[in-house]
């Protein structure tokens, strides 16, 4: 538990955005009652909190307000997950993998849904339909112009200019 951690103890940090795991050393510990926060008045009844500072490589990282009786803490704002036991970090990695795999499995269905919405917009919005038609016609004209340049250069034996 965070309240029992001592200076010099090892903690594991999962950097979610990179992803990597680093082992850090605790350089300071302070267990206390949480300060009163008018936005969360009931937090006072949750018990003690622990503030620790961890040295991980060249970085000194403060972790404030850890639940004193917990062994893991998530800091989404920092993109970090902190644990006293490295196996808890591995479980968190497995959870993240499962979540990403689940998200990726929905991509084809979302792509089909996106195409449906684009078709619906094209069908129901005359301005979007006109713009798409103009883009299509412009692409066709550019293709024809390119073909004409190639034919003229073949006729006159010159090299076509690069665009």
Portion of the chain with pLDDT greater than 90, in percent:
63
pTM (two decimals): 0.66
Mean pLDDT of all residues belonging to the chain = 89
The kind and range of the H/E element at 97 are helix 86-105
Six-digit token pair at 96?
A: 């993240």
pLDDT above 70 for 119? yes
Six-digit token pair at 126?
A: 């005359």
pLDDT tens column, 24-42: 999 999 988 777 666 766 6
**What integer is the mean pLDDT of 75-84?**
94
């Amino acid at each position: 538990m965070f309240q029992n951690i001592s200076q010099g103890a090892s903690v594991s940090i999962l950097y979610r955005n990179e992803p990597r795991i680093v082992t850090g050393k605790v350089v300071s510990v302070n267990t206390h009652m949480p300060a009163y926060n008018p936005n969360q008045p009931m937090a006072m009844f949750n018990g003690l909190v622990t503030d620790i500072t961890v040295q991980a490589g060249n970085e000194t990282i403060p972790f404030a307000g850890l639940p004193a009786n917990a062994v893991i803490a998530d800091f989404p704002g920092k993109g970090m997950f902190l644990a006293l036991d490295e196996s808890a970090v591995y479980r968190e990695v497995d959870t993240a993998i499962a979540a990403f795999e689940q998200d990726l499995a929905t991509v084809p269905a979302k792509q089909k849904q996106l195409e449906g919405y684009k078709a619906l917009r094209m069908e129901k919005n005359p301005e979007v339909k006109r713009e798409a038609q103009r883009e299509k016609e412009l692409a066709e004209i550019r293709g024809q112009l390119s073909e004409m340049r190639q034919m003229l250069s073949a006729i006159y034996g010159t090299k076509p200019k690069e665009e």
